[in-house]
């Protein structure tokens, strides 16, 4: 099983991508999509990536909605900062966030979340100290930002990738 | 091609203007902010809701015009969301590296690794 399907999620996702791209779920396209997904999965195996350990993957649904709501909110917030403080944001600054996350897939998802919500930019992650360096555009309250990242995103990611 | 109903036209007009407007605002932020780290926040408006607005508008328009669900724009959203952090991290880490090696005062220093700085025991035989 693992010989043919080293990365089952990648294979399924690529097959789905192919079907959506072709806008048809015909047998021919399904076979072609599966061929692409399988060969990409095999090619990825030689990269030697560690497999994500799934804990409660269904918790991802909740996380998606939380993040979508935050994207709307932070878009409005950043647009407001640009409109009202045209030249220099008043309280932009660096922020260090201590993280418990170590799983690389989970960290990748956290970076996607932080990038997708405007107002926070991921600068670097110190794996030894478990500390994330961010730049925040509207750094009024440091504690509030740390709470947002650890309690809203990190806690859920820890549950998903247990 | 079907005729587009009025509500559809209004809906995707709002989505397009909203998405393009947010992207424009992001670009204004990119051009006007005074520091690099503030500037990189601007384009993320375009890659998040700016992109979502335009993609929803496109999906809605072609769904109405062709009379069948057209959803493959969602792939653009998926790839933009996955690839943006890579570019953004490369840019910001390059800037961080430059500022640190120039000794800029307002940039946080890297964590000191005490273990790595300890003198190595002499292992010569």
Angstrom CA distances, A52 to A80, A160, B13, stand at 38, 10, 42
List, edge to edge, every strand of the sheet that includes A93-98.
Answer: A93-98, A131-136, A120-126
Pair A64, A24 in one domain = no
Which H helix or E strand runs over A61? helix A59-84
The total of structural domains in chain A comes to: 2
A41 and A108, same domain (yes or no): no
Residue A160 in contact with residue A55, Cβ under 8 Å? Answer: yes
Give the residue from chain A lying closest to B69, CA to CA: A23
Backbone φ, ψ for residue A126 (5° rounding): -90, 105
- A78 near B CB under 8 A: yes
CA distance linking residue A32 with residue A128, whole number of Å: 43
pTM of the model: 0.83
Domain presence at residue B112? no
Examine residue A137 and state whether it is found in any structural domain, yes or no.
Answer: yes
Which one of A72, A88, A111 has the shortest CB-CB distance to B89?
A: A111
Closest in A72, A75, A129 to B111, CB measured: A129
Query: Is B122 a residue whose pLDDT tops 60?
Result: no
Q: Is A52 a domain residue?
A: no
- Report how far apart the first and last C-alpha atoms of chain A are (Å, whole number): 23
Mean pLDDT of B80-85: 90
Range of the domain at A23: 8-45
pLDDT at B123 over 80: no
Domain that holds residue B96: 6-103
Same domain (yes/no): A33, A76: no
Residue A44 CB coordination number (10 Å): 15
Which residue, among A48, A34, A142, has the nearest Cα to A91 in the 3D structure? A142
Chain A contact for B17 (CB, 8 A cutoff): no
Of A71, A94, A128, the CB nearest to B113: A128
Same domain, A75 and A154: yes
Q: Under a CB-based contact definition with an 8 Å cutoff, are residues B77 and B52 in contact?
A: yes
Q: Is residue B114 included in any domain, yes or no?
A: no
Would you call A118 and B41 a contact, using CB atoms and an 8 Å cutoff? yes
B48 C-beta neighbours (distance < 10 Å), count: 26
Angle ∠(B22,B27,B28) on CA atoms, nearest 5 = 95
Cα of B94 to nearest chain A Cα, Å: 9
| pLDDT for the residue numbered A66 | 92
Tens digit of each residue's pLDDT (9 = 90 or more) over A130-152: 889 999 888 888 888 898 888 88
Give the per-residue pLDDT at B21: 93
Return mean pLDDT, chain B: 84
Residues A98, A123 within the same domain: yes
In sequence order, the 6+-apart residues with CB closer than 8 A to the CB of A150 are A97, A98, A99, A100
Residue A78 lies in a domain: yes
Whether residue A151 sits in one domain with residue A122: yes
* DSSP code, position A152: I
Handedness of CA A121, B22, B50, A72 (dihedral sign): positive
Alpha-carbon distance B45 to nearest alpha carbon in chain A (angstroms): 6
pLDDT band at B114 (very low <50, low <70, confident <90, very high): very low
Q: Decide if A20 and B92 are in contact by the 8 Å CB cutoff.
A: no
Assess whether pLDDT exceeds 70 at residue B115. Answer: no
Using CA atoms, how far apart are residues A160 and B85, in angstroms rounded to an integer?
21
Quote the pLDDT of residue B58.
92
Question: Which tens digits make up the pLDDT trace of B61-82?
Answer: 999 888 888 888 899 999 999 9
Residue A125 lies in a domain: yes
**Is residue A3, in this structure, part of any structural domain at all?**
no
Q: Is A69 on the interface with B (CB under 8 A)?
A: no
The reported pLDDT for the residue numbered A1 is 57
Residue at B109 is within a domain? no
Same domain, A41 and A63: no
Number of folded domains that form chain B: 1
Does the predicted interface ipTM exceed a cut of 0.85?
no
Residue B26 lies in a domain: yes
Mean pLDDT across B8-37: 90
Partner B contacted by A71 (CB < 8 A): yes
Residues in chain B, total: 125
What pLDDT score does B3 carry? 82
Chain A within 8 Å of B93 (Cβ-Cβ)?
A: yes
Report yes or no on A53 lying in a domain.
Answer: no
Residue B41, CA distances (Å) to A82, A95, A99, B27 in order? 10, 15, 22, 10
Domain membership of residue A99 (yes or no) is: yes
Task: Indicate if A131 and A70 belong to the same structural domain.
Answer: yes
Query: Mean pLDDT for each consecutive 10-residue tract of chain A (162 residues)?
Result: 77 90 86 91 82 81 91 88 78 88 87 89 87 87 88 89 80
What residues have CB less than 8 Å from A102, skipping those under 6 apart?
A: A127, A130
B42: in domain: yes
For B37, which of A86, A115, A135 is closest by C-beta distance? A135
């Amino acid at each position: 099983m693992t010989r043919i399907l080293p990365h089952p999620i990648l294979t399924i996702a690529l097959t789905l991508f192919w079907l959506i791209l072709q806008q048809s779920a015909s047998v021919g396209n399904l076979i072609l999509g599966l061929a692409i997904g399988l060969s990409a999965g095999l090619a990825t195996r030689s990269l030697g990536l560690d497999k994500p350990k799934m804990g409660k993957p269904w918790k991802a649904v909740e996380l998606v909605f939380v993040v979508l709501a935050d994207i709307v909110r932070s878009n409005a917030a950043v647009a407001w900062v640009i409109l009202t403080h045209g030249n220099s944001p008043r309280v932009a600054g660096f922020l260090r966030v201590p993280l418990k996350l170590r799983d690389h897939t989970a960290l990748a998802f956290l970076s996607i979340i932080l990038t997708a919500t405007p107002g926070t930019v991921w600068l670097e992650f110190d794996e030894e100290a478990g500390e994330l360096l961010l730049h925040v555009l509207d750094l009024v309250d440091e504690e509030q930002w740390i709470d947002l990242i650890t309690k809203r995103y990190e806690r859920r990611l820890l549950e998903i990738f247990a | 091609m079907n005729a587009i109903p009025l509500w559809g036209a209004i809906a995707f007009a709002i989505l397009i203007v909203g998405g393009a407007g947010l992207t424009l605002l992001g670009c204004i932020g990119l051009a006007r902010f005074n520091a690099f780290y503030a500037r990189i926040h601007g384009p993320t408006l375009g890659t998040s809701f700016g992109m979502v607005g335009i993609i929803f508008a496109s999906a809605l328009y072609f769904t109405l015009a062709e009379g069948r669900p057209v959803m493959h724009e969602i792939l653009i959203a998926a790839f933009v969301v996955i690839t943006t952090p890579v570019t953004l991290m490369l840019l910001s880490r390059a800037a961080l590296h430059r500022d640190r090696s120039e000794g800029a005062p307002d940039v946080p220093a890297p964590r000191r690794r005490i273990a790595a700085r300890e003198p190595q025991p002499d292992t010569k035989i």
